[in-house]
Structure 1
Amino acid sequence: MQVKIDTKEKFHVITPIEPVLSATMTDGIKVVLLPYLKNEVKNVVFDMSNVSTLDAAVAEQLLHIQQDFYENNASFVACCVTENVETFLADNELSELLNVAPTISEASDIVQMEEIERELMDDDVLE
């Protein structure tokens, strides 16, 4: 799977180049995204602005990846979802499960808020 990567201070923006994310790409998505959990900056914003079609297997894989990120104290936020993909997620009752923001800026805000939450929770554990 080909992607464009833009590294920010608190997160990486990963943008798939292909307009179709098919079932055959599920392993490729995992290979591209999961290594970020080993980085110092673990958070990922998955920019879906180029994606016009999403397969159910890919959507399910994204949910698993999102869970992996949260289990590792990192954020995973999808953003810039096209109308076709948004309809697909809603029709398959996935839009409530996947952390989606309308824009990269709003996804950045979510990442920063989740970072603050994790810091506050860490402080509570230490007390």
Structure 2
Amino acid sequence: MKYSVDKKEQYVIFTPMEEKLDSALSPKLKSELLTVQAEGYNNLVIDMSNVKYADSSGLSALLVGNREFGRNGGIFIISSPQDHVMKLIKLSMLDKVFIIVDTIEEAAEAIFIHEIEGKEQEEEED
């Protein structure tokens, strides 16, 4: 699986360089997402702008990422999904589960807001 990883201070942008996210690539995607998390990053943006097709196993890999990054108070954001992928997400009703934005800039803003809200919650609990 070809991909790029751009590590920022608060988050990682993971960009699959593949047109299809299917059963052949899903296990590798899951593994790479978990590796990024194991490196200590809580927030991940997956840039789907190159992915033109996904099947149920591709969505399953995204669900694993969403669950794992959310488990420790982090955030998992899907950015720039192509039409076919977005239709599948909506058909599966996963648009209610995933945070989906149109651009990397919107994803960065969402992470910033998420971080601020997390700090405010910590302060309220103290």
Q: Normalising to structure 1: TM-score of the pair?
A: 0.91
Q: Which letter maps to 2:45? A: V
Say whether the 8 Å CA contact 1:37–1:72 is kept in structure 2: no
Question: Hey, what does 2:88 align to over in structure 1?
Answer: 88
The structural deviation recorded for 1:93 is 1.6
Report the count of equivalent residues.
126
Deviation sequence 1:38-93 (CA, Å, 0-9, x none):
33443111000000001112112211221111111211101010111111111222
Question: Hey, what does 2:104 align to over in structure 1?
Answer: 104
Question: Hey, what does 2:25 align to over in structure 1?
Answer: 25
CA RMSD of aligned residues (A): 1.4
Matches within 5 A, 1:40-119: 40-119=40-119
Paired with 1:106 and 1:51, the residues of 2 have a C-alpha distance of: 19
Say whether the 8 Å CA contact 1:53–1:84 is kept in structure 2: yes
Say whether the 8 Å CA contact 1:37–1:74 is kept in structure 2: no
Q: Which letter maps to 1:67? A: R
Say whether the 8 Å CA contact 1:36–1:43 is kept in structure 2: no
Gaps of 5+ in 1: none
Paired with 2:31 and 2:64, the residues of 1 have a C-alpha distance of: 13
Give the secondary structure class of the aligned counterpart of 2:121.
Answer: helix
Gaps of 5+ in 2: none
Give the secondary structure class of the aligned counterpart of 2:77.
Answer: strand
